[in-house]
């Protein structure tokens, strides 16, 4: 395998943030479990949560004579990811045996890819505030998962569950391009978004479908790369941030105490908030990698890649740019609305029905998202459909009701979206007063009752104007059209 000469990678050009005078260097290895029905080399099911050992066949159990057969769908997932990340999809890649002993690995080796992986190069880029950050990828290779040791249910013994053995994984490896825990988490979130978006992984971190190993080192600016420690199996963004932050502080403390960092694999303990060494790190040579004689080279025809390219959805970054150019949305709105495909299509359906892109964006990012969060709902299960939200937005856009009344109506729709919006406006008395004659009468009353504010305004106190608007709004029970009210009041006081 041609590994990059990481020692020669210079500091990032735009001064990375330093922690106590140290530069932080992070590289990620992410295991994404692929969305296939069966295992990577057998026909056993990959369904999560089944009774232990009920989904392990002769191949997964490594019974003598059982031979692996490649799952086409797993390869398709790898190709999809390669296309989404701008990588090179190798026309010929090789499966290799990674040899080690562990009770949950009955073959005594894991089938992986070593020298020639299926996906090579590519990048993931994302925004940190307004600055764009690009993380280069080294590779993504196909491999099988191992089984699981169960310690909880047994006293003095451990059990082995081989249901997970042979589950298809893509291991996605970055260059050591990240310079802070924040960048690392942002990278992981972006990658998570992409793999779920293109439907190669369900992204369920609790079930272990997307787990990250963070390689962390520190160095003085300009010095060669420091020795890394690898934090294994981070399966929540919160723990990821905590684990990396702890690790950075720990490494700096060691170095400041005059100690050296030893390359190691560590685990994060969420209880204590600390990382603990699990084993000193093996080198590739320890695994005696060699090409698996049971599997021929994986050959991928250009035509197949082209077919898959044709079936790819619009990617989040492209969609984001389209939201800015077609709908005239600010960058921030476009980024937020493309956080998930579901949110993006809800937005597009709303705009298609009401034509009000910015209002739709405001309502979805604000009132709707807040209610969804409170109810712990995904937008797919939103009790108010895009069509109904669009109708509500139209009544606001044409001045029939105020923005604030819109919120009251949304509350009502939230519990029962079958009621007509017009009926709700009527029954709640929320119709906005747009009649200038009525508004003028209202203003006259307010001016008469608040002579002191009028005097203050005439004496140059701008604030008194707002007080008068407030009074008029209150007198209209919030139903006066605010723009009209402002204009009429300005005229009266001129």
Q: What number of other Cβ atoms are within 10 A of residue 347's Cβ? A: 28
User: Which span (190-198, 211-219, 436-444, 460-468) binds ligand ADP, by CB under 6 A?
Assistant: 211-219
- Residue in 472, 399, 405 with CA at minimum distance from that of residue 440: 472
Asked if 251 is part of the footprint of ligand ADP (rule: CB under 6 A), the reply reads no
Report the site for ligand ADP in 276-295 (rule: CB under 6 A).
284
Among 9, 66, 100, 175, binds ligand ADP (CB under 6 A): 175
259-284: b (≥16 Cβ within 10 Å) or e: eebeebbbebeeeeeebeeeeebeee
- Residue in 108, 101, 113, 112 with CA at minimum distance from that of residue 62: 108
Asked if 432 is part of the footprint of ligand ADP (rule: CB under 6 A), the reply reads no
Asked if 274 is part of the footprint of ligand ADP (rule: CB under 6 A), the reply reads no
The runs of H, that is alpha helices, within 382-420 are: 386-397, 403-415
Residues 6+ apart with CB under 8 A from 267: 231, 232, 233, 275, 276, 278
- Residue in 39, 9, 38, 3 with CA at minimum distance from that of residue 23: 9
CA distance 24 to 177: 10
Among 28, 239, 323, 363, binds ligand ADP (CB under 6 A): 28
Please classify residue 129 by burial: count the beta carbons closer than 10 Å to its beta carbon, then call 0-12 exposed, 13-18 middle and 19+ buried: exposed
Which listed option, Mg ion, ligand ADP, none, makes contact with residue 6 (CB within 5 to 8 Å by class)? ligand ADP
| 200 phi and psi angles, rounded to 5 deg | -105, -10
User: Which span (21-29, 191-199, 402-410, 411-419) binds ligand ADP, by CB under 6 A?
Assistant: 21-29
User: Which span (22-30, 79-87, 90-98, 469-477) binds ligand ADP, by CB under 6 A?
Assistant: 22-30
CA distance 291 to 112: 9
CA distance 214 to 29: 7
Report the site for Mg ion in 29-48 (rule: CB under 5 A).
29
Name which of 5 and 153 has its Cβ closer to ligand ADP: 5
User: Which span (78-86, 173-181, 367-375, 436-444) binds ligand ADP, by CB under 6 A?
Assistant: 173-181
Total chain residues near ligand ADP (CB under 6 A):
18
Q: What number of other Cβ atoms are within 10 A of residue 297's Cβ? A: 12
Among 174, 338, 341, 432, binds ligand ADP (CB under 6 A): 174
CA distance 89 to 122: 10
* DSSP-based three-state secondary structure for 99: strand
Asked if 173 is part of the footprint of ligand ADP (rule: CB under 6 A), the reply reads yes
Name which of 217 and 356 has its Cβ closer to ligand ADP: 217
| Distance from the Cα of residue 40 to its chain's centroid | 26
Minimum CB distance to Mg ion, residue 12 (Å): 23
Minimum CB distance to Mg ion, residue 28 (Å): 10
Name which of 29 and 175 has its Cβ closer to Mg ion: 29
| 270 phi and psi angles, rounded to 5 deg | -60, -25
User: Which span (43-51, 224-232, 285-293, 305-313) binds ligand ADP, by CB under 6 A?
Assistant: 224-232
Minimum CB distance to Mg ion, residue 241 (Å): 21
Among 39, 107, 193, 228, binds ligand ADP (CB under 6 A): 228
Asked if 223 is part of the footprint of ligand ADP (rule: CB under 6 A), the reply reads no
Name which of 261 and 365 has its Cβ closer to ligand ADP: 261
Asked if 120 is part of the footprint of ligand ADP (rule: CB under 6 A), the reply reads no
Asked if 51 is part of the footprint of ligand ADP (rule: CB under 6 A), the reply reads no
| 19 phi and psi angles, rounded to 5 deg | -110, 115
Residue of minimal CB distance from ligand ADP?
27
Asked if 27 is part of the footprint of ligand ADP (rule: CB under 6 A), the reply reads yes
Name which of 93 and 338 has its Cβ closer to Mg ion: 93
Asked if 26 is part of the footprint of ligand ADP (rule: CB under 6 A), the reply reads yes
Name which of 29 and 440 has its Cβ closer to Mg ion: 29
Asked if 217 is part of the footprint of ligand ADP (rule: CB under 6 A), the reply reads yes
Name which of 59 and 231 has its Cβ closer to Mg ion: 231
The CA–CA distances, whole Å, from 259 to 23, 252, 262, 370 equal: 17, 10, 9, 49
CA distance 385 to 375: 16
Q: Residues interacting with Mg ion, by CB under 5 A? A: 29
Q: Residues interacting with ligand ADP, by CB under 6 A? A: 3, 6, 25-29, 173-176, 215-217, 225-226, 228, 284
């Amino acid at each position: 395998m041609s590994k990059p000469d990481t020692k020669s990678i210079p500091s990032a050009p735009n001064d990375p943030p330093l922690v106590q005078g140290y530069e932080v260097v992070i590289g990620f290895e992410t295991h994404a479990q692929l969305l296939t029905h069966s295992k990577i080399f057998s026909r056993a099911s990959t369904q999560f949560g089944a009774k232990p050992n009920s989904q392990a066949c002769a191949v997964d159990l490594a019974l003598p004579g059982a031979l692996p057969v490649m799952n086409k769908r797993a390869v398709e997932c790898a190709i999809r990811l390669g296309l989404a990340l701008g990588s090179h999809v190798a026309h010929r890649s090789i499966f290799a045996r990674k040899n080690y002993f562990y009770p949950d690995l009955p073959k005594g080796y894991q089938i992986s890819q070593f020298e020639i992986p299926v996906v090579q190069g590519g990048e993931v880029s994302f925004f940190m505030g307004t600055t764009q950050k690009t993380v280069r990828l080294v590779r993504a290779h196909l491999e099988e998962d191992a089984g699981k040791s169960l310690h909880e249910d047994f006293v003095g013994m451990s059990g082995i569950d081989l249901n997970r053995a042979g589950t298809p994984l893509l291991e996605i490896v970055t260059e050591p391009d990240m310079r802070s825990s924040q960048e690392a988490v942002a990278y992981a979130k972006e990658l998570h978004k992409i793999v779920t978006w293109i439907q190669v992984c369900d992204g369920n971190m609790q079930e272990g479908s997307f787990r990250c190993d963070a390689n962390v080192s520190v160095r003085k600016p300009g010095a060669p790369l420091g020795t890394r420690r690898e934090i294994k199996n981070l399966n929540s963004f919160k723990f990821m941030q905590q684990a990396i932050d702890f690790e950075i502080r720990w490494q700096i403390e060691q170095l400041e105490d005059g100690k050296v960092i030893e390359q190691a694999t560590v685990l994060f303990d969420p209880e204590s908030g600390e990382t603990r060494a699990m084993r000193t790190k093996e080198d590739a040579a320890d695994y005696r990698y060699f090409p698996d004689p049971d599997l021929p080279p994986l050959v991928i025809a250009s035509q197949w890649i082209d077919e898959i390219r044709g079936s790819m959805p619009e990617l989040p970054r492209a969609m984001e740019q389209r939201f800015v150019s077609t709908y005239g949305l600010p960058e921030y709105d476009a980024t937020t609305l493309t956080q998930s495909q579901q949110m993006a299509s809800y937005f597009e359906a709303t705009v298609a029905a009401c034509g009000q892109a910015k209002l739709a964006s405001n309502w979805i990012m604000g009132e709707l998202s807040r209610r969804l969060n409170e109810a712990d709902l995904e937008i797919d299960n939103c009790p108010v459909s895009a069509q109904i939200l669009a109708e509500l937005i139209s009544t606001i856009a044409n001045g029939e009701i105020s923005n604030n009344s819109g919120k009251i109506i949304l509350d009502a729709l939230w519990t029962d979206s079958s009621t007509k919006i017009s009926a709700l406006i009527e029954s709640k008395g929320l119709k906005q007063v747009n009649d200038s004659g009525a508004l003028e009468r209202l203003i006259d009353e307010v001016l008469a009752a608040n002579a002191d504010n009028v005097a203050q305004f005439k004496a140059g106190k701008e604030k008194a104007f707002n007080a008068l608007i407030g009074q008029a709004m209150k007198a209209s029970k919030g139903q006066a059209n605010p723009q009209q009210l402002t204009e009429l009041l300005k005229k009266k006081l001129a």
